[in-house]
C-alpha cells in the first residue's frame, strides 16, 4: 500500500510511521509535514532511508493534489494541537485544522483515495468530575476551545464530504496520548523535562481535571485497525480506560524522578479548562476487536521518563523557548 501520512513528523504521526514500518514493512510511506515548531525531522531519522519526507503545507492545494494522486490512502494527523497556543493565537488553528482538512478532502475527492481523519475527544466538550458518563460516538459536539472547535469543524467537513460526495473516509476521536517524541509543551513531557533540567513541575489550577490517558502505540494500532476494517463514514472513539486526575499523574512523575510528591508549583488555570474527558471505546472493541496493549499506566510513564532521560538531544534544544513562552503567560 502507498500511504500518505500528513503530520508524520509530529508526536503521534512519527510514532505511527515507526509502528507502520515495524508491523507493515511493505507499506510505501510518504510523510507530508510543514515542520512547524511541533514537527521534527529527528523523530524520523532512524527510518529516513525507508520513507519519503516532503516538507510542505497541507493548505498548499497543488502539492497536496500531486501527492494524493499517487497514493492509495491518507492518514491525516497534521494539525495545530496545543490548547494553550490556540487560546493565545487561534489563527493558525483555523488555517491548518479547517482549511488544511478541506484541502485534503478536496484532493481525496478528486482522486477517489481512502482517507482516515485523526481527531480528538475534545470535540465533545467536557464531563463533570465524578459523573459515570463517558463520551460515545453519539455524544453531541460541544467544543470549548479554539483548538477543539477547529478539530470539530474539520470532523464535520469530513462527514459532509462522505455524505455529499461519497468520499471514502473514517474518523477517530482519541483521548490524551503519552509516549516518546511528544513535544515538551505538553503536560507529561513538560513536567519530566522540568525536573530533568532543575526546574519545578507546574500544575494548572487545583489539578482535579481528569484526562483519559492512552499510550500512543495503542492509539496508532487502533488507527491501523480502522484504516483496514472500519466502515466507511463511521466514527470510532479510541480510549484505554486510563482516567487519572492531573494531580495524581504529577505525583507519580515526581515519585518516578525521586522527588517529594508535593514538590511542585500551582500556576494559574487555563481559560475555559475542560474538567474531564472519558472515552467509551466499545464500538472499536466490539466491531473491530481492538484491545490496548499498554494497560499498566505507571509502567508506561516509567518507560516515557526513561525515554526523555536518554534523548535529551531530541528535546533539549526546544526546552528554553517553550518555558520562555510559558513564563510570558504566567505559567
Ligand atoms: P503534534 O503537534 O505533535 O504534531 C503535529 C504535526 O503536524 C507536526 O509535525 C507539524 O509540523 C505538522 N503540521 C502542523 N501544521 C501543518 C501544516 N499546515 N501542514 C503540514 N503539517 C503541519 O500533534 P500530535 O499530538 O501528534 O497530534 C496529531 C493529531 O492527533 C492531531 O490531528 C491531533 O488533533 C490528534 N490528536 C492528538 C491527541 C494527543 O493527545 N496528542 C489526542 C487525540 C487526537
Ligand atoms: O484529549 C486529547 C487532547 O489531549 C488532544 O486533542 C490535544 O492535542 C492534546 O494536546 C491534549 O490536550 P490537553 O489540553 O488535555 O493536553 P495538555 O498536555 O496541554 O494538558 C493536559 C492536562 O494537564 C490539562 O488538564 C492541562 C494540564 N496542564 C498542562 C500543562 C502543559 C498542567 O497542569 N500543567 C502544565 O504545565
**Percentage of residues in the chain having pLDDT higher than 70:** 100
- Ligand at minimal distance from the CA of 83 is 2
pLDDT digits (tens, 9 = 90+) for 244-272: 999 999 999 999 999 999 999 999 999 99
> Given the C-alpha cell 482516567, which residue does it identify?
243
What is residue 199's predicted lDDT score, i.e. its pLDDT?
98
Q: Decide: 134 in ligand 2 pocket, CB within 6 A.
A: no
What is residue 197's predicted lDDT score, i.e. its pLDDT?
98
Nearest Cα to Cα of residue 105 among 234, 6, 230: 6
> What integer best gives the mean pLDDT of the chain?
98
Could you state, in order of their start, the residue ranges of all structural domains in the chain?
2-178+212-238, 187-210+245-277+297-329
Among all residues, which ones are annotated catalytic? 121-122, 147
pLDDT digits (tens, 9 = 90+) for 178-210: 999 999 999 999 999 999 999 999 999 999 999
Phi/psi at 173 (nearest 5 deg)? Answer: -120, 110
Cα distances from 60 to residues 66, 88, 182, in angstroms, run 10, 25, 26
Nearest Cα to Cα of residue 105 among 158, 163, 173, 160: 158
Could you please state the CATH topology (level 3) that the domain comprising 187-210+245-277+297-329 is classified under.
UDP-galactose 4-epimerase; domain 1 (3.90.25)
CA distance 275 to 245: 9
- Cα dihedral 37/198/263/324 (nearest 10): -40
Contact 48, 119 (CB under 8 A): no
Ligand 1 centroid vs 305 CA: distance in angstroms?
22
pLDDT digits (tens, 9 = 90+) for 40-60: 999 999 999 999 999 999 999
Number of Cβ within a 10 Å radius of residue 326:
16
Question: What is the pTM (predicted TM-score) of this model?
Answer: 0.99
Topology alike, domains 2-178+212-238 and 187-210+245-277+297-329? no
Ligand 2 pocket mutation, candidates 204, 238, 250, criterion most atoms within 8 A of CB: 204
Average pLDDT estimate for 55-74: 98
Q: Which CATH class is domain 2-178+212-238?
A: alpha beta
Give the position, in ligand 2's atom list, of the atom nearest the Cα of 246: 23
Nearest Cα to Cα of residue 87 among 273, 211, 278: 273
**Percentage of residues in the chain having pLDDT higher than 90:** 100
Amino acid at each position: 500500500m502507498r500511504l500518505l501520512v500528513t503530520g508524520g513528523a509530529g508526536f503521534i504521526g512519527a510514532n505511527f510511521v515507526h509502528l507502520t514500518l515495524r508491523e507493515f514493512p511493505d507499506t510505501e510511506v510518504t510523510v507530508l509535514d510543514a515542520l512547524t515548531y511541533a514537527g521534527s525531522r529527528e523523530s524520523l531519522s532512524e527510518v529516513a532511508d525507508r520513507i519519503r519526507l516532503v516538507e510542505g503545507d497541507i493548505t498548499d492545494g497543488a502539492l497536496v493534489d500531486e501527492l494524493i494522486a499517487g497514493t492509495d490512502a491518507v492518514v491525516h494527523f497534521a494539525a495545530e494541537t496545543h490548547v494553550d497556543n490556540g487560546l493565545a493565537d487561534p489563527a493558525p488553528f483555523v488555517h491548518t485544522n479547517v482549511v488544511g482538512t478541506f484541502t485534503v478532502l478536496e484532493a481525496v475527492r478528486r482522486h477517489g483515495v481512502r482517507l482516515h481523519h485523526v481527531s480528538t475527544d475534545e470535540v465533545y466538550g467536557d464531563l463533570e468530575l465524578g459523573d459515570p458518563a463517558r463520551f460515545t460516538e453519539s455524544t453531541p459536539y460541544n467544543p470549548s476551545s479554539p483548538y477543539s472547535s477547529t478539530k470539530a469543524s474539520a470532523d464535520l467537513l469530513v462527514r459532509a464530504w462522505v455524505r455529499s460526495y461519497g468520499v471514502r473516509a473514517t474518523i477517530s476521536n482519541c483521548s490524551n496520548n503519552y509516549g516518546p517524541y511528544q513535544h515538551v509543551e505538553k503536560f507529561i513531557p513538560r513536567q519530566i523535562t522540568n525536573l530533568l533540567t532543575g526546574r519545578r513541575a507546574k500544575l494548572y489550577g487545583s489539578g482535579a481535571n481528569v484526562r483519559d490517558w492512552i499510550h500512543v502505540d495503542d492509539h496508532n494500532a487502533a488507527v491501523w485497525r480502522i484504516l483496514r476494517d472500519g466502515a466507511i463514514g463511521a466514527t470510532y472513539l479510541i480510549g484505554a480506560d486510563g482516567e487519572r486526575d492531573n494531580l495524581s499523574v504529577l505525583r507519580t512523575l515526581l515519585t518516578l524522578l525521586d522527588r517529594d510528591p508535593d514538590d511542585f508549583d500551582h500556576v494559574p488555570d487555563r481559560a475555559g479548562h475542560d474538567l474531564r474527558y472519558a472515552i467509551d471505546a466499545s464500538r472499536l472493541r466490539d466491531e473491530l476487536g481492538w484491545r490496548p496493549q499498554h494497560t499498566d499506566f505507571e509502567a508506561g510513564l516509567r518507560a516515557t521518563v526513561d525515554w526523555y532521560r536518554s534523548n535529551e538531544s531530541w528535546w533539549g534544544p526546544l526546552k528554553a523557548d517553550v518555558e520562555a513562552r510559558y513564563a510570558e503567560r504566567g505559567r
